[in-house]
């Protein structure tokens, strides 16, 4: 079964790890290393079944290949999952996991993800050199991610309205977590009219206090008029039920897997709504750890995040020229980078 799933997703390698003495159950998936080592975070969740964990790690690692390739990074895609309750995580578990990563001999480089922290990566780093996102690294990637999303929103606004200025645009930010709250602040600084929403009323109250922003009830976000809808919380929010309700011209946010299904990119296009592929616009986190892996500085990461806008605008123009969705254009560009890895790779604006 695993080999069939690997063939379907195009994976190079899947490693199962079990160390009963410390309660470690993990899966490391390496999707592709054509462009470089497979880099991707370690997610820790209490998956109900082994198949659920496998499907998640296969899907996420494949997405990392496309994210790295589309971001013009010389890295492949990988991901790892640890099957455990978050409160059951301890140093022994993370040390054992570090040894698993080390045995992959640099084919996979890990970092933080859901329910793993910088402190966890510090423990992993005691067992392997193939880890980034430690306390000795470049720090919290969320400001870099937010900066890249702003650059991407500007690109979408330029493509839609003819200018990248935000001072006469309304942006609705769904989700006020680490990235969403920073994004909303940056948008305010850029002059945008900002609306915010979150499942946690306390988060909304805290953010709106002293700021000229409008709060939108969690259940009303899809019906709220705005120029740009920026999902920054959970994925799968754009689906058959929400697409007809959207009152925006652009969907561009920091959340992963915004579309419930791939076909929803075309459904948005049919409605005249521009969709910025999540793995293109939210690549700031990957850029941060990739910059750390390369030994460069946080300033380098911020500059690279700013280039997300130019890259996205080129992909939008490419999609328009080919009559496809921007998601199709991004996927095609990522595949071209991988397929022509031994040749000089043109930017999307040149293809």
Q: Show the tokens assigned to 259.
A: 């579309």
Active site residue 89: no
- Looking at the DSSP assignment, which residues form a beta bridge with residue 43? 81
Alpha-carbon distance of 179 to 141, in angstroms, equals 9
Active-site residue identified among 67, 79, 89, 195: 79
Distance CA(200)–CA(198), nearest Å, equals 5
Residue 268: partners with Cβ closer than 8 Å, 6 or more residues away = 238, 243, 246, 251, 274, 275, 325
Return all residues near 97 (Cβ < 8 A) that are at least 6 apart: 17, 24, 26, 42, 80, 82, 124
For the chain, the maximum distance between any two Cα atoms, rounded to a whole number of angstroms, is: 61
Catalytic residue IDs: 79
């Amino acid at each position: 079964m695993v080999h069939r799933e690997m063939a379907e997703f195009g994976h190079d390698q899947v490693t199962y790890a079990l160390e009963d003495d410390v309660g470690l159950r993990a899966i490391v998936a390496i999707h592709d290393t054509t462009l470089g080592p497979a880099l991707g975070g370690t997610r820790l969740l209490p998956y109900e079944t082994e198949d659920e964990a496998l499907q998640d790690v296969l899907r996420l690692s494949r997405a990392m290949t496309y994210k790295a390739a589309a971001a013009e990074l010389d890295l492949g895609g990988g991901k790892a999952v640890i099957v455990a309750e978050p409160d059951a995580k301890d140093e022994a578990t993370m040390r054992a996991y570090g040894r698993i990563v080390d045995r992959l001999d640099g084919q996979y480089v890990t970092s933080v993800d859901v329910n793993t922290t910088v402190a966890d990566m510090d423990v992993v780093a005691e067992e392997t050199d193939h880890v980034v996102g430690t306390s000795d690294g470049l720090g919290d990637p969320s400001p870099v991610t937010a900066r890249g999303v702003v650059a991407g929103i500007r690109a979408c606004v330029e493509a839609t309205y003819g200018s990248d200025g935000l001072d006469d645009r309304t942006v609705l930010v769904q989700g006020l977590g680490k990235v969403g709250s920073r994004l909303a602040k940056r948008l305010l600084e850029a002059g945008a009219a900002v609306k915010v929403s979150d499942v946690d009323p306390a988060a909304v109250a805290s953010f709106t206090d002293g700021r000229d922003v409008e709060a939108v009830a969690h259940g009303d976000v899809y019906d709220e008029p705005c120029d740009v809808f920026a999902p920054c919380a959970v994925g799968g929010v754009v689906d058959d039920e929400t697409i007809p309700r959207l009152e925006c011209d652009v969907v561009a946010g920091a959340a992963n897997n915004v579309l419930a299904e791939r076909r929803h990119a075309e459904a948005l296009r049919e409605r005249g709504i521009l969709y910025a592929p999540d793995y293109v616009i939210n690549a700031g986190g990957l850029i941060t750890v990739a910059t750390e892996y390369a030994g460069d500085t946080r300033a380098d990461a911020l500059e690279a995040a700013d280039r997300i806008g130019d890259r996205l605008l080129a992909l939008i123009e490419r999609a328009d020229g080919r009559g496809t969705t921007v998601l199709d254009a991004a996927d095609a560009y990522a595949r071209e980078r991988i397929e022509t890895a031994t040749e000089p790779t043109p930017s999307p604006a040149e293809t």
